[in-house]
Amino acid sequence: MKEFEVVITEYKWTVLINTSLGVIMSSMNMNILMISLPAIFRGLGINPFAPGEFAYLLWVLMGYSIILATILVTLGRISDMHGRERAYTLGFIIFSIASIALSFIPSNSGNFGALILIILRMVQAIGGGLLMVNSTALITDAFPLTERGKALGLNQVMFIVGTFLGLIAGGLVVGIDWHMVFILSVPFGVAGSLWSVFKLRKTKGTGKTSLDIPGNVTLAGGLLAISLGLTYALMPYGNSQMGWGNPWVITAFIIGVALFIVFVEIEKKAKAPLFQLSLFKIRPFTYGLLALFFNALARGAVMFLITIWLQGIYLPLHGYSWEETPFWAGIYMIPMMLGMVVMAPFSGILTDKYGARTFATLGMIIIAITFYGMTLLPYNFDRTWFEILLFINGLGNGLFSAPNTTAIMNALSSKDRAAGNGMRQTFNNIGSSISMAIFFTILLTFLSKYLPTQISTTLSSYGLPQEVIKFISSIPVSGLLFGAFLGVDPASAIPSSLISLLPSNVVEILNSRAFLPTVLGPSFKTALTNSLYISIALVLIGAVFSYMRGGRYVIDEEKGATAKT
């Protein structure tokens, strides 16, 4: 009996180490991409001021999440059919192959290269989805009830380790060659694949079962239609800076909503529905998903906007070259990682003992407070206060994530964990995708209102000809935002016939790294402040749902469900 217990104890740590490799790889890749996008788009030769180019940035950001939101539950079902361990190993392999392929995209390949980048990121999402949908389920299966929170907390720490490695290593190598950012995560993929093959126990799975193909098609079609509509709603149309009046945008929204209605009807009648609607009867599961959804809705785009704030405005104003900004943006984000590292393990251990409600709810309240603190900062902020707020934000996120995940997974029986975890990740990714659309809409709306006047006033003070002022003021605000993020000055967009009209000292000002951030900064901060107010409201709604989950609730495979209030 003792030998059996030793084997069980050893195996649970084997599972934790292996899933940690997957978490490090995926989080490392995600954060490398976020801070390296300027260098990648510059390497591809993308002109940020050209019409429609902003769409490529949106789809690099949103494409991965949209694919995950579409296929995660089905991947969970397939994993149950063929064995979680096999599916998990396949996830490592697909992700690694796609990462290697990304490193071969030619430089200066323009829009074609950007399109290949988006497609390969979507392939990565399939591998990442197999990892995500199975890792939490494997941990929950391997660890006893009294240690699940601790294990998931440690897994959260590995996510943070991957984030840290991505921010720092990505910032270092991107200045050498942007292709290298895709290779950094591959060794973790190779190690994870080999570890999975030789160390994880192979289960038979449930065998063949029905797949909800109609449900999958309608969900995917609905998400794709809405996402396309949102993308082109953020593009100029006619004389407007936004495309909400574009007939194609309106049509896309109508088609998306119609497909979602059809999806709900299909799910009600399906023998093996994509979403197991019966799971929503479990209170901790349902309210945990809602809390997660609102957290993703509030944080998904806002954290990327803060990255733009750093790389496109703050760091250039403080003398950092465009090549240096990815690395230093990573350095500036470290306090948030430290906050999560400090809190995640402790919150998991406390959840095992006391339940998730208090800790997860308090974590969301702390996140809301830090967002309010950021509204008080000027666009050219004091670094000390910025870092303090990021650290406290990390504490709040660490206090929310592990307890919420533990509560959701503890509410599911072993046969439902892969599908339930797929639903959990689907809610998270749908929230993140919608977040990008909502907050970029808010950002561009405020920039459209204030930025053209700000540019016109600034350029007039330099005594520029009206033709030049009119030309630069007419550049879409999405292009100016994209240009600031990439570190491309607006002078590069001015035709040579107009450039010849300008004194050399004025051309030098327009070419300086501080010009566009100075002009953009006040309007950007106004837009970001209003975005943060909305984020605060969303986080607090999530906190209410988190509190409504009730007391500690655990499915015990032998004794049934137990609940403590």
At residue 116, the pLDDT reads 92
At residue 6, the pLDDT reads 43
Residue 553 host element (H or E): strand 553-556
Burial class (CB in 10 A: 0-12, 13-18, 19+), 66: buried
At residue 362, the pLDDT reads 93
Q: Percent of the chain at pLDDT above 90?
A: 13
Quote the Cα angle for 178-106-174, to 5°: 0
Residue found by looking up tokens 């007391």 in the block: 551
Helix (H, G, I), strand (E, B) or coil at 6: helix
* CA–CA dist 537, 540 (Å, integer): 5
Q: What is the pTM assigned to this prediction?
A: 0.79
User: Do the beta carbons of residue 38 and residue 95 sit within 8 Å?
Assistant: no
H helices of 174-280, in order, are 186-199, 213-233, 247-269
For 414-425, the pLDDT digits (tens) are 777 767 777 887
Work out the mean pLDDT of the chain and round it to a whole number: 81
The answer as to CATH 1.20.1250.20 being correct for domain 2-211+272-448+519-563 is yes
At residue 73, the pLDDT reads 74
Give the length of the chain.
Answer: 565
Domains of the chain: which residue ranges?
2-211+272-448+519-563, 212-271, 449-518
For 519-530, the pLDDT digits (tens) are 888 888 888 898
Provide the 10 A C-beta neighbour count for residue 104: 10
